[in-house]
A and B are shown apart, each in its own frame.
Chain A
Amino acid sequence: MEKILEIKNLKIEYKSNERTVEAVNNLNLLLNKGESLGIVGETGAGKTTTALGIMGLIPDPPGKIVNGEIIFEGHDILKLSKNKLRAVRGKKISMIFQDPMTSLNPVITVGDQIAESIRIHEKLSRADAVLKAKEMLELVGIPEERYAEYPHQFSGGMKQRVIIAIALSCNPELILADEPTTALDVTIQAQVLDLILKLKREKNTSMILITHDLGVVVEICEKVAIMYAGEIVEYGTTEQIYENTSHPYTRGLFDSIPDIDAKEDRLIPIQGLMPDPADLPKGCSFEPRCRYSTEKCKESNPDTQEIGNGHFVKCYNYIKRGEQ
């Protein structure tokens, strides 16, 4: 399988008034062409920061990529010049943003906002770009007559479709979908996910789907990375993660999903809160909340180890198969 994206030892920090927040810590990630990877984790785990890092859109200041490599199609994105990076953005890698309400420019028509990215990357006349933008609108299920309308005339779900149309307009190699359905209500969520999946299959695009919804991941992704406090704590194929859950944090995430068959009065939440990212514990960052923690976990941060074919876990006392 051909690699499309490889992230090595990525470290991203945000600096504010002498506090340094380590948003992403020694992150390693591999994505093959045509694959979908789900990044799952709670709020503040560094999922969005990772995606923005891949786009080269970390706001600097306060953010800074301190260390690491992001290799996309054989080139390190972090070493690209500004102009070369701009040629990648929107053309090779594009991003679907989390909040459709604020991600569209309120004073520009939706059609022009789609045509804009086409005009930037493809040598098309204005009229041809408009035609292509209209095609994109139809593709995401919005009648092309609405080209000249403004974002405030659209519902949230339609705005998200417009954002998807923008992201897909130049046939990118890689889509970063940052919680594309979080701001939408449940019925629209399914529609938007189906749409993304359909377009992805048609064009064999690779995708990173950021979410905190494990159910969505099962539907869409072949691989899953579980993120906690800026690190990937477990990584593997969707089957490996679901059938052979190994990291205590992943276990906790599954336990906090209600089971439709079992009669449960209460869910089993993960105790405690995520550690302050400006003051991470010396050992394993999940140790304070971990049921399986030992002295060793307090003292040193475990390395990532491969426990199955392509199944990685960052834990000393990971849960072995059949132990649950």
Chain B
Amino acid sequence: MAKYIGKRLLMMIPVLLGVIIVIFSIMYMTPGDPARMILGEAASASAVEELRESLGLNDSYITQLLRYITNVVFKFDLGNSYSSHKPVVDEILERFPTTILLAAISVTISVIVGVIMGIISATRQYSIFDKLATSFSLLGVSMPTFWAGLMAVIVFSVHLRWLPASGSYGWKYWILPSFTLGLSSSATIMRMTRSSMLEVIRQDYIRTARAKGQSENMIIIYHALKNAMIPVVTVIGMRFGGLLGGSVLIESVFAIPGLGKFIIDSINMRDNLVVQGGVLFLALSFSVCNLFVDILYGFIDPRIKSQYKSSSKRRIKKDEATN
């Protein structure tokens, strides 16, 4: 198992290098001059030129790319932000907890709502509840989150005045954004749970459990759920990984100072180093998230766990054979 995890961590290196090259190239080719953005429209051409020189922006593409990679790989240095002059790493770490918190709360909401509704829908297939849940999930996937967020603000903040519309100064501020995000992802999770459950409850081993005299509730909880969880966990993991960087829209709607909003603002300000660092960071957290999901598979399904083990065993055997 440890060997498997180690192997997967090593495999992240080329992925992250690729991400660096792609995002660096995109930012390099994007029109607009960071130096001009920093100094403003009023600055003289010579001042801009001087700043470009000192930031190293006049060097060739390859020189700049190699310099960036060297700094990242050997010094863990993502550079300083052009606008705040603080290290990019600090800027990201300052905002990341907010983003993680929002992602965690909304994923928790979506898992609770989605999995429970999915199970009930599957066990009472074609019932009124199932039909309502299906329409709810259709609504959930069809509504763009930013629009749902705006609607939530109109209803709960403007008309009912129950909850604050934007900012992050206390737990009340988290309710609208996390529920908007959570409910919209719960739709996908619900669909996945439902279809996966429907498949599992028709399996022979469920009949075996009934033949033992087990109660229906225990059959669902003890026998069916764990078997139905693999595709659901995949969706949850993707969703969480996506939310780490993808709650940009919701962060913007509710003015939450998270990583997504920070990256968007930096793109507008042509703060290249922040954008590159931010995207790299998101790619890293997404990869870690995926690895975590894959490890989780092993705990859910012993057959997958034995594959993880046997793949490293096979390698040992092969090594022995070559020696």
Partners in one complex: yes
Interface residues of A (CB under 8 A from B): 55, 57, 86-91, 94-95, 97, 99, 102-108, 116-117, 120-121, 150, 152-153, 163, 166
In the bound assembly, the distance between CA atoms of A107 and B205 in angstroms comes to 11
Cβ–Cβ contact B213 & A120, under 8 A:
yes
Interface: B302 (CB within 8 A):
yes
**Which residues of chain B come closer than 8 Å to A95, judged between CB atoms?**
211
**Which residues of chain A come closer than 8 Å to B303, judged between CB atoms?**
106, 150, 152
In the bound assembly, the distance between CA atoms of A102 and B207 in angstroms comes to 10
Cβ–Cβ contact A120 & B223, under 8 A:
no
Interface: B30 (CB within 8 A):
no
In the bound assembly, the distance between CA atoms of A152 and B204 in angstroms comes to 15
Interface: B46 (CB within 8 A):
no
In the bound assembly, the distance between CA atoms of A105 and B301 in angstroms comes to 11
Q: How far is the CB of B127 from chain A (nearest CB, A)?
A: 13
Most chain B CB atoms below 10 A, which of A87, A90, A99, A105: A105
Q: In the complex where A99-B204, A150-B302 touch, is A106 in contact with B227 (Cβ < 8 A)?
A: yes
Cβ–Cβ contact B215 & A86, under 8 A:
yes
Q: In the complex where A107-B227, A152-B302, A152-B306 touch, is A102 in contact with B203 (Cβ < 8 A)?
A: yes
Interface: B226 (CB within 8 A):
yes
Interface: B291 (CB within 8 A):
no
The 6 A-B pairs with the shortest beta carbon distances in the complex, nearest first, are A90-B213, A117-B212, A89-B213, A90-B212, A102-B204, A105-B205
Sample (27) of A-B pairs whose CB atoms are under 8 Å apart: A57-B207, A57-B210, A86-B213, A86-B214, A86-B215, A87-B213, A90-B212, A91-B213, A97-B207, A103-B204, A103-B207, A103-B208, A104-B208, A105-B209, A105-B223, A106-B302, A107-B227, A107-B301, A108-B226, A116-B209, A117-B213, A121-B213, A150-B302, A152-B302, A152-B303, A153-B306, A166-B208
**Which residues of chain A come closer than 8 Å to B300, judged between CB atoms?**
107
Cβ–Cβ contact B205 & A104, under 8 A:
yes
Q: How far is the CB of B15 from chain A (nearest CB, A)?
A: 31
CB-nearest residue of chain B relative to A56? B210
**Which residues of chain B come closer than 8 Å to A150, judged between CB atoms?**
302-303
Q: How far is the CB of A236 from chain B (nearest CB, A)?
A: 29
Q: How far is the CB of A307 from chain B (nearest CB, A)?
A: 36
